[in-house]
Amino acid sequence: MTSKPADNTDTLQPLVQLKDHNVALLFSNYLQSLGIKSQLKSSRDEGHVIYCPEDKILQAKTEFDAFILQPYADKYQQAAWDRGETVSLNADDFSLINNFKDSFLAHAGIVTLLIFTLCWLVFLGSELGWAQTIFNTLQFYPQLSMDALLTDPIRLIGPAFFHFSWLHIVFNTMWWWQLGGSVEKTLGKVTLINLLLISAIVSNVGQYLVSGSNFGGLSGVVYALVGFVWWFGYLAPDRGLSLAKPLVGFLLFWLVLGFADLLPVNMANTAHLLGLLSGCFLALFTVKVIGINDNK
């Protein structure tokens, strides 16, 4: 009788699948230089798959997103040298566009991609000269009333899809893709839709009550995702949905800077705070009240 050799990737989660061995080896070495356990497994059918622990998967994905844009950066080769290996890349080994496309689409589900695309279509339409028309369509109610809610319900969530600058939309949509994609892949599209709708309504209504209807952006929803992933990871760590403490600290610090009025742009601080709190509450509700069965 023979037994299959132990495969220690069983306790790890697949992070990314790459076509070229050198590229996969380079990034695997870099993860290990950061203290993230990483294992490269190759096969004829699957290509080269990098595995890492579930609790490090979000951090590793963030690192891969940076790596895919600058694979030739010195720090990646330095990590290989530190481990006593030399890995060389050339144009035949690495297709930046294809790998980025594969990584981008593989991480995000249909809801994540639809909202991402909608935000960018709205923004590009604004940049092409229709900013005021689009803003007037999506702007929160100038005066909130039951009649207004019934006749034009889109305005309740509409401001979330309108962004005022390139920095604004890049920051929000990339965090939406990263965190929203993780939520959708782990818990399903229904969970992400509920999170989007509830956090958009709560943050928009709160910001309206504080400063009126002249605001926009997905950041209230993004902060809800931060709160949700943060607390879900704390309450159900075995599900592999978590946010690294340094990232939580950075985003909370950014929130504090907004309230302290130390940033060069106007921030919808109330929307950010209420989004964060609604996300934390929804994580608690998901785990403790309705359970955490996948709802895809």
Q: What separation in angstroms does the CA of 162 have from each of 34, 113, 118, 133, 139? A: 37, 16, 9, 11, 8
Spatial CB neighbours of 29, under 8 Å, sequence gap ≥ 6: 38, 76, 79, 80, 82, 83, 85, 87
Examine the residue annotation and report whether 272 is marked as an active-site residue of this protein.
Answer: yes
Spatial CB neighbours of 76, under 8 Å, sequence gap ≥ 6: 26, 27, 29, 30, 67
Name the helix (H) or strand (E) containing 5: none
Identify the active-site residue in 103, 219, 242, 278: 219
Q: What separation in angstroms does the CA of 135 have from each of 113, 119, 129, 158, 159? A: 22, 12, 11, 9, 8
State how far the Cα of 106 lies from the Cα of 103, in Å rounded to an integer. Answer: 5
CA-derived radius of gyration, the chain: 21
**Strand, helix or coil at 250?**
helix
Identify the active-site residue in 126, 203, 272, 278: 272
CB 222 within 8 A of CB 195: no
State how far the Cα of 54 lies from the Cα of 30, in Å rounded to an integer. Answer: 17
Examine the residue annotation and report whether 42 is marked as an active-site residue of this protein.
Answer: no
Query: Of how many residues is the chain composed?
Result: 296
Q: Annotated catalytic sites, by residue?
A: 219, 272
